[in-house]
Structure 1
Amino acid sequence: MSTEGRFAGKVALITGGANGIGAATAARFAAGGADVVVADFDEAAAQKTASAVGGRAVRCDVTSRADVEAAVAAAAEPTGRLDILVTCAGIIRDNLLHKMTDDDWESVIATHLRGTFLAAQVAQGHMVSQRSGTMVLVSSTSALGNRGQANYSAAKAGIQGLAKTLSIELGPFGITVNCVAPGFIVSQMTEATAARMGVSMEQFVEAVAEQTPVRRVGQPDDVAGVIEFLCSHDASYVSGQVIYVRGGP
């Protein structure tokens, strides 16, 4: 079944949309006919991604309420609508608990958890008014716990709880809210992790693939495909779910 035009007339805002999962998702929405708005702290990267998919770009620090409000307003400005929100913005500051600084903790919590909260809170104003909309919040398998990621794991687990709560609160207004929780996905984050471990990206990928049931690592488009489904009419009766995209159970 063709997915061409499945998002025609829809406005989609992607935070952290300049690279990785966000950029892959932007490409899929644009191919489906959506008016795609790429919001990212790195404005130049956002502009590059938006240009590649025929979308729009806006600089946004998701920890700033003013920035988030401006990004949502910019996305909705042409039509007054906001139909899709995907929250991909994130950073890592990995360390063992006894070495983790206050800034390591607070910056990760602020970017992932506060940033997701702000985006959802501001976006829901438009969606409630129009009595329709879809949100997909990006979590991680690290929500289940991962050594050296107390901050990241706590933030990602919080996002899952946020999604389930929002699905209850916003469902009566025709809004669905779900989570995707990726496992190992080739990205700037995983490249940074490999460098920190003192191994090449090729070695890192090979080691992870050997432990993954499908015997390969994930690519951004693997996650984008799930997000695309959750934002489509085909998933209109799916809400409050966490879907792990990890190449196995």
Structure 2
Amino acid sequence: MKNKSFEHFFSQIEKEIFDIEKIIDNENIRNKYNNDMFCPECFKAKLTFVEKTSFRKAHLRRIPSSEHYPKCSYNFEYATKKMIQSYFNSLDKNQIRDKLHSIMRMLCKSKIENFSTNKEKYSDIDVSPMLIKENRNVTHTKSLRRKSLNNFIDKNENGEIYAFYGKGILRTIEKEGKKEGEKEGEKFKYYFLEIWRRNNQNEMRKTSSYRGNIKDLIEENAVYNIVFIGEVIFKNDYPNIKLINKDALLFQIEE
């Protein structure tokens, strides 16, 4: 299986998960964590920094001699779009919401306590919410790709399905259209949900998702923990996200 790349790492010394952005542009900070970068999920596999090239952005890789715990989702191949769609079509609204809550609990926290006890938690195939099964068959377990909202969405990711996660500001955009057919000309409203990232005093729009007739109720100045699963669709050089399911979106005000 291809060695996967990482956007985050876990520091066993500081018991905290950090974004790769923390070390990319500062060699001194990078040296500080050089021997203290581990898998952000199982906290066991040791990672190393890979410099940016003309073909690849800077990223983290697992050191070949260091292994994940067996049931860590990074040990599994990525699920195909067909498998992901089939899996979420088999879930009802509450099951999808439970899945997203589990992903949020795992990916939207930075401070980790009692990390040394995680080995015992990996006795169950269902422990990682990033794992999905084909027709509930344990022998066909795959993992979801993950993508932090802190990181750039590249055009070469067009068509890929990710579990997006992170902190951001939400804005509901209302638009108006006209119906066709028997009710031609009759107006109707539809909505987009925009996700913005606040960096110091600046705000940057990261992506948006079509919500149809769903008007999400949000506090526009609040910072949210956000998780959603969808396909990257570039339009006019801008990344939009087509949700895998209308319920595959969860956001909560950061405490």
Task: Judge same fold: TM > 0.5, yes or no.
Answer: no
Higher strand content, 1 or 2: 2
TM-score normalised to structure 1 length? 0.26
- When Rg is computed on C-alpha atoms for both structures, the one with the higher figure is 2
